[in-house]
């Protein structure tokens, strides 16, 4: 939700994050955006792994796979936002989408 809300408040940065604004830009800038998403995924993975320490139980599915799935969802919502010319907000219908994602985290 944090990533989606950020994107909603910053449409210009969302174009950059999805690569839409970087199509003809330097490789260095594209690399930095890739690095940003890698760091977000690493942080998600860490939070998911810490569940074992907090709650004493892990996930049925590997945390790495779960983190990549969550990030893919976010990237998809950001792409949809840019593609729609910012009509479809990333947080729109989030309450309905979250149970679908949360079911994967059981």
**Over the range 18-37, which residues count as b (16 or more CB within 10 Å of their CB) and which as e?**
bbebbeeeeeeeeeebeeee
Percent of all residues in the chain with a pLDDT value above 90, rounded to a whole number: 43
Is residue 73 helix, strand or coil? helix
Q: Is pLDDT larger for residue 11 or for residue 55? A: 55
Summarised one tens digit per residue, pLDDT across range 50-92 is: 998 899 888 889 999 999 999 999 999 988 988 898 899 999 9
Q: How far apart (Å, rounded) are the C-alpha atoms in residues 39 and 31?
A: 12
Average pLDDT, the chain: 86
State residue 6's pLDDT score.
Answer: 83
What are the structural domains of the chain?
2-104 (1.10.357.10)
Sequence-distant (≥ 6) Cβ neighbours of residue 1 within 8 angstroms: 91, 94, 98
Sequence-distant (≥ 6) Cβ neighbours of residue 15 within 8 angstroms: 21, 82
Residue-by-residue DSSP string for 1-37: -HHHHHHHH-HHHHHHHTTGGGTTS-HHHHHHHHHHH
Summarised one tens digit per residue, pLDDT across range 96-105 is: 999 999 988 8
Cβ atoms within 10 A of the Cβ of 49, count? Answer: 16
State residue 22's pLDDT score.
Answer: 57
State residue 23's pLDDT score.
Answer: 61
Summarised one tens digit per residue, pLDDT across range 13-44 is: 777 777 765 565 667 777 788 898 999 999 99
């Amino acid at each position: 939700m944090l990533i989606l809300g950020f994107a909603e408040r910053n449409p210009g940065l969302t174009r950059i994050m999805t690569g839409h604004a970087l199509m003809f830009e330097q490789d260095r800038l594209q690399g930095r955006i890739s690095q940003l998403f890698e760091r977000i995924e690493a942080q998600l993975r860490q939070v998911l792994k810490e569940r074992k320490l907090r709650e004493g139980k892990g996930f049925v599915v590997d945390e790495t796979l779960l983190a990549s799935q969550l990030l893919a969802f976010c990237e998809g919502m950001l792409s949809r936002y840019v593609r729609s010319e910012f009509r479809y907000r990333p947080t729109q219908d989030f309450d309905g989408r979250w149970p679908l994602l949360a079911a994967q985290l059981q």
